[in-house]
Amino acid sequence: DANVSFKTFTKNSDFTLNIGYVSENDYRSTYVNTGSSHTFNNKSSTIEWNVGLAEDYIEPTDPNFFITIPRPEKENKRSISGLLGFTQIINKNTLINTSFAYAYYDGFLSDPYKQAEVEGLRVADSRPSTKSQLIWAAAARRFVNSVNGALQADYRYYYNNWGVESHTLDVGWHQNIGSYLQIKPAIRYYSQSKALFYEHFYTQARLDEFYSSDYRLSKFDALSFKLSISTTLNMNTISIPFTLSYESYQSKGDNPGLINFDIASLSTGIKF
């Protein structure tokens, strides 16, 4: 993974240019993106934009492992993306943000490692060669002086022309207790519709010959509850932060690839 970045600043603006290259054993990507942000209205308002281009090359491992359904030896895809965002500081306790993003993909968009079942026969995963997607996101932050805590609320809407539409709502509360302890309960809800060509298996062939049983394209809902407790132990010039967190994730849908889990973690470090 190699990346070169250039960033320049003026009094109220900045400009960024990134050029990068990524290589894995079955995947290579070359990309470039550029963007800028500008503050105005006494630096309480910020508008930002970003555009990017990428060229990806796919060389699946073991292309002839499945003799009857060989994987492609080499494929490629291209993408172009753009983002426009706006942030407004309402007052010292309140901030809001909204953004729109668009991306267009062209080329090999199927998964070379997946298969589907059509009329009792196995076939390679096959998806349209183009995809366009739109994302709208909104966020708000509000600090409440009387309780020394802050509300965090985020919403994200996603749509693509394959028929996948999703809604994500993430809400959390950051409660400060004294100067060294913070408790954060949070909840995240996700809902997604299925792609137009997705099925567990196909009882008859499709006229467009698009087939995918990838559970990521299925209809499903997910609900996640999170709780974290953070504190910092200060000793002269050394600080040791601790964070104990727990998450319970539940998903519901008609695909066996979905999972439920509970996870607990403890993290720490040393700051000089």
The whole-number pLDDT of residue 41 equals 94
Are 75 and 108 in contact by the 8 Å Cβ rule? The answer is yes
Where the chain has pLDDT below 70, the residues are 65-67
The whole-number pLDDT of residue 54 equals 98
Other CB atoms closer than 10 Å to residue 226's CB: what's the count? 17
Bridge partners (DSSP) of residue 35 are 16, 50
Bridge partners (DSSP) of residue 36 are 15, 49
Are 174 and 167 in contact by the 8 Å Cβ rule? The answer is no
DSSP state of 195: P
The whole-number pLDDT of residue 146 equals 94
For 11-41, how does the pLDDT look when each residue is reduced to its tens digit (9 = 90+)? 999 999 999 999 999 999 999 999 999 999 9
DSSP state of 200: S
Cα–Cα–Cα angle for 254, 256, 259, rounded to 5 degrees:
100
Q: How far is 241 from 171, CA to CA, in rounded Å? A: 24
Q: How far is 73 from 195, CA to CA, in rounded Å? A: 26
Q: How far is 16 from 119, CA to CA, in rounded Å? A: 52
Tokens of 34: 């550029």
Tokens of 229: 């407790």
Pairing of strands 94-107, 75-91: antiparallel
Say what the alpha-carbon torsion angle 123, 125, 130, 131 is, to the nearest 10 degrees. Answer: 140
The whole-number pLDDT of residue 150 equals 97
Q: Is 59 exposed, middle or buried (0-12, 13-18, 19+ CB in 10 A)?
A: middle
The whole-number pLDDT of residue 175 equals 97
What residues contact 88, with CB distance under 8 A and at least 6 apart?
44, 45, 46, 95, 96, 97
Closest CA to 148 of 105, 93, 111, 98: 93
For 147-170, how does the pLDDT look when each residue is reduced to its tens digit (9 = 90+)? 999 999 999 999 999 999 999 999
Are 229 and 202 in contact by the 8 Å Cβ rule? The answer is no
Bridge partners (DSSP) of residue 108 are none
Would residue 145 be called left, alpha or beta, if left means φ above 0 and alpha means ψ between -120 and 50 degrees?
A: alpha
